[in-house]
């Protein structure tokens, strides 16, 4: 295979969400696995809805995930190329002017449906004479432009879906240019894929039918034709579409919730594949395991609970050096508390308990017991001190199990759960531990 050139082509009309990030990752991981090039194309032909802020937001989100691009460009800077391609198609009789209003088209579709026929455009505009066209224009109508499909079949071997056949006669000729002169995504995308020599178009399966039309446009414009890979869409844990919930599943939102980039990347790269969902610590690791053959045909289930669990797993395995600038305390503190957090900000709660002055919780009936514990503690606590303390108190008081250790944990940390007390006692140090066991703020 020649070196792949792929592209991720978001529209800057919103922030990235788990759905389009999955497409971005599939492109990025494939490119990385094959030492190819990843292009970031900004699909901003919709000048009304596209904003510079969203474009920047998309770039920030990708960078945060660790996805880098070898080249980036915006469609809004390339109208000259699209106009030239449109002119060629017009000259070849493949792009034709239509004057129907949307009401007229609606009516036609309804009539076809009532007659039990598929609502395919009737190509009446192909029969218009120059006089009729001039008459429409004199009426103030501006044409929209449709691409003339072959009416035959288009076939390709999809890298995910296998052999595909689309019966083009069942489709309406697609509108490539609207009445106001603006481009729909279909033509600019093909023109850009030809110019950038894209070798693989990797995108969601909602584009399968578009691919039929786009393949015919590729053939009309050049000898270049990429391969296609259409990945199944994401659904929620309940099997239902995520479309209504995508706002809350934006990278921005998940990042604010404390989800780490590799938790998201690991989940999105593995769901819907034959690999099990496990944490990976780098995109390189995910890339080395990437294969289109592993992607199944069924929708990929995205469950936020998996994301939280993976995030906790990732943090439990994360070395101090990787988080040193984001957490309070030192390596010893991190190594002890990391197993008790789900997101990095949870570290702050443990920092408050270990590093800041506070009083623990001591029930009236446990006061003497805690005093005895304080008196037993040596001036320097070691990892074995906790078990020595427990052994001593067990013999002295006859307490056992929870009644033995829980009053101490509560007195020292004010929490019923947490890191092992052997470690916590060392982190707190003798002075603080004694004071807290005496009921003081320390
Ligand atoms: N901007 C298009 C979209 O987001 C790109 C589709 C494609 O990858 O061709 O749907």
Closest ligand 1 atom to Cα of 189: 9
Cβ proximity of 304 and 326 under 8 Å: no
Pocket of ligand 1 (CB under 6 A): 9-11, 43, 185, 189, 203, 207
Residues 297 and 349 in one domain: no
pLDDT at 2: 81
| Pocket mutation for ligand 1, best pick of 5, 6, 10, 38 (most atoms within 8 Å of C-beta) | 10
Closest ligand 1 atom to Cα of 214: 9
Looking at the structure of the chain, the number of domains it has is 4
- Collapsed DSSP state (helix, strand, coil) of residue 64: helix
Residues 65 and 93 in one domain: no
Find residue 121's DSSP bridge partners. none
48 CA → ligand 1 middle, Å: 17
Residues 142 and 115 in one domain: yes
What is the β-pairing status of strands 162-167 and 153-158?
antiparallel
Say if 212 falls within a structural domain: no
Residues 56 and 43 in one domain: yes
CB atoms under 10 Å from CB of 329, counted, come to 18
Span 359-390, pLDDT tens digits: 999 999 999 999 999 999 999 999 999 999 99
Residues 90 and 54 in one domain: no
Stronger pLDDT, 275 or 1, i.e. the higher one: 275
Closest protein CA for atom 3 of ligand 1: 10
**Domain end marker among 177, 195, 211:** 177
| CA–CA distance, 181 with 83 (Å, rounded to integer) | 10
Q: Return the CA Rg of the chain.
A: 31
157 CA → ligand 1 middle, Å: 20
**Domain end marker among 149, 177, 205:** 177
| CA–CA distance, 262 with 259 (Å, rounded to integer) | 9
| Pocket mutation for ligand 1, best pick of 5, 8, 11, 229 (most atoms within 8 Å of C-beta) | 11
Helix axis angle, 18-33 relative to 261-270, nearest 10°?
80
91 CA → ligand 1 middle, Å: 27
- Report which of 92, 353, 355, 50 is spatially closest to residue 216, judged by C-alpha positions: 92
Say if 164 falls within a structural domain: yes
Closest ligand 1 atom to Cα of 43: 1
**Tell me, what CATH number does 416's domain have?**
1.10.10
Closest protein CA for atom 6 of ligand 1: 9
Say if 388 falls within a structural domain: yes
Say if 271 falls within a structural domain: yes
Closest ligand 1 atom to Cα of 20: 4
Span 181-204, pLDDT tens digits: 999 999 999 999 999 999 999 999
pLDDT at 129: 97
pLDDT band at 244 (very low <50, low <70, confident <90, very high): confident
**Tell me, what CATH number does 18's domain have?**
3.40.50.620
The helix/strand count (H/E) of the chain reads as: 19, 12
10 CA → ligand 1 middle, Å: 6
pLDDT at 246: 83
Burial of 388 (0-12, 13-18, 19+ CB in 10 A): middle
**Which range marks the domain in which residue 380 is found?**
364-437
| CA–CA distance, 108 with 90 (Å, rounded to integer) | 25
Closest protein CA for atom 10 of ligand 1: 10
168 CA → ligand 1 middle, Å: 21
Closest ligand 1 atom to Cα of 7: 8
pLDDT band at 5 (very low <50, low <70, confident <90, very high): very high
Say if 66 falls within a structural domain: yes
Residues 86 and 172 in one domain: yes
Q: What is the DSSP letter of 170?
A: G
Span 299-345, pLDDT tens digits: 999 999 999 999 999 999 999 999 999 999 999 999 999 999 999 99
Span 112-129, pLDDT tens digits: 999 999 999 999 999 999
Q: Which residue has the tokens 């919709």?
A: 46
273 CA → ligand 1 middle, Å: 22
Residues 311 and 330 in one domain: no
| Pocket mutation for ligand 1, best pick of 6, 9, 230 (most atoms within 8 Å of C-beta) | 9
395 CA → ligand 1 middle, Å: 71
Say if 210 falls within a structural domain: no
228 CA → ligand 1 middle, Å: 13
Residues 4 and 67 in one domain: yes
204 CA → ligand 1 middle, Å: 8
Residue 164 makes CB contacts below 8 A (sequence gap 6+) with 155, 156, 157, 158, 208, 211, 228
């Amino acid at each position: 295979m020649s070196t792949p050139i792929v592209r991720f082509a978001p529209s800057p009309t919103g922030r990235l969400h788990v759905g389009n990030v999955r497409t971005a990752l599939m492109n990025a991981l494939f490119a990385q696995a094959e030492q190819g090039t990843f292009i970031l194309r900004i699909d901003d032909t919709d000048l009304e809805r596209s904003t510079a802020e969203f474009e920047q937001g998309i770039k920030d989100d990708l960078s945060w995930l660790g996805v880098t691009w070898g080249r980036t460009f915006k469609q809004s800077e390339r109208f000259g190329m699209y106009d030239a391609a449109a002119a060629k198609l017009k000259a070849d009789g493949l792009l034709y002017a239509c004057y129907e209003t949307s009401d007229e088209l609606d009516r036609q579709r309804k009539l076809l449906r009532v007659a039990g026929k598929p609502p395919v455009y009737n190509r009446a505009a192909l029969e218009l004479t120059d006089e009729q066209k001039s008459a429409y224009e004199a009426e103030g109508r501006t044409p929209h432009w449709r691409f003339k499909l072959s009416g035959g079949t288009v076939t390709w071997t999809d890298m995910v879906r296998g052999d595909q056949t689309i019966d083009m006669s069942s489709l309406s000729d697609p509108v490539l240019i609207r009445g106001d002169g603006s481009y729909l995504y279909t033509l600019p995308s093909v023109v850009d894929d030809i110019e950038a020599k894209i070798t693989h178009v990797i995108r969601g399966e909602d584009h399968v039918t578009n691919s039929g039309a786009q393949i015919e446009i590729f053939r009309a414009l050049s000898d270049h034709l990429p391969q296609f890979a259409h990945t199944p869409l994401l659904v929620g844990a309940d099997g239902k579409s995520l479309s209504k919930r995508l706002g809350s599943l934006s990278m921005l939102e998940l990042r604010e919730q404390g989800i780490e980039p590799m938790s998201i990347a690991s989940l999105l790269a593995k769901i819907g594949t034959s690999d099990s969902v496990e944490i990976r610590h780098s995109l390189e690791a995910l890339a080395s395991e990437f294969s289109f053959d592993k992607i199944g045909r069924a929708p990929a289930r995205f469950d936020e609970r998996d994301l939280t669990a993976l995030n906790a797993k990732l943090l439990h395995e994360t070395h101090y050096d990787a988080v040193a600038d984001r957490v309070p305390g030192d390596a010893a503190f991190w190594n002890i508390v990391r197993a008790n957090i789900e997101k990095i900000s949870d570290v702050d709660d443990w920092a408050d308990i270990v590093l800041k002055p506070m009083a623990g919780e001591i029930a009236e009936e446990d006061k003497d017991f805690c005093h005895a514990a304080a008196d037993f503690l040596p001036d320097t606590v070691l990892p074995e001190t906790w078990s020595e303390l427990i052994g001593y108190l067990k013999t002295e008081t006859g307490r056992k199990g929870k009644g033995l250790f829980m009053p101490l944990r509560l007195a020292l940390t004010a929490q019923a759960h947490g890191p092992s007390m052997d470690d916590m006692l060392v982190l707190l140090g003798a002075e603080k531990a004694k004071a807290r066991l005496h009921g003081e703020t320390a």
